[in-house]
Amino acid sequence: MKQPQHPTADAALDLAAAALGFLASDSERLGRFLALSGLAPGDVRAAAADPGFLPAVLDYVLADETLLVAFAASQGTPPERVSRARAALGAVHYDRST
């Protein structure tokens, strides 16, 4: 049986950015995310520059099965891919500029 491969860090970050876009596309989803994260709407862009922010977005999505399934469906991907993307990011900070 073939083991699923972990995505590259860039692919995982792309999926995390898509998750952020998914949250932002619905005011109720975004409002809940902002309330739980403590961010103000104007702070999201600056927060996104923090290397830990996009992995945290995946953590947020993974913590709510209904949200996870909806996001995965919007991407046409299995929910397990979101989990693998989060695992691919680990605790390491990634800098795409290098």
pLDDT in the model for residue 98: 43
Average pLDDT, the chain: 90
Q: How many CB atoms lie within 10 A of CB 39?
A: 15
Q: At what angle do helices 53-62 and 65-75 cross, to 10 degrees?
A: 110
pLDDT in the model for residue 2: 54
pLDDT in the model for residue 95: 53
Cα(93)–Cα(51) distance, rounded to whole angstroms?
5
Cα(72)–Cα(88) distance, rounded to whole angstroms?
17
pTM: 0.85
Whole-number Cα distances in Å, 40 to 12, 21, 64, 75: 25, 16, 21, 26
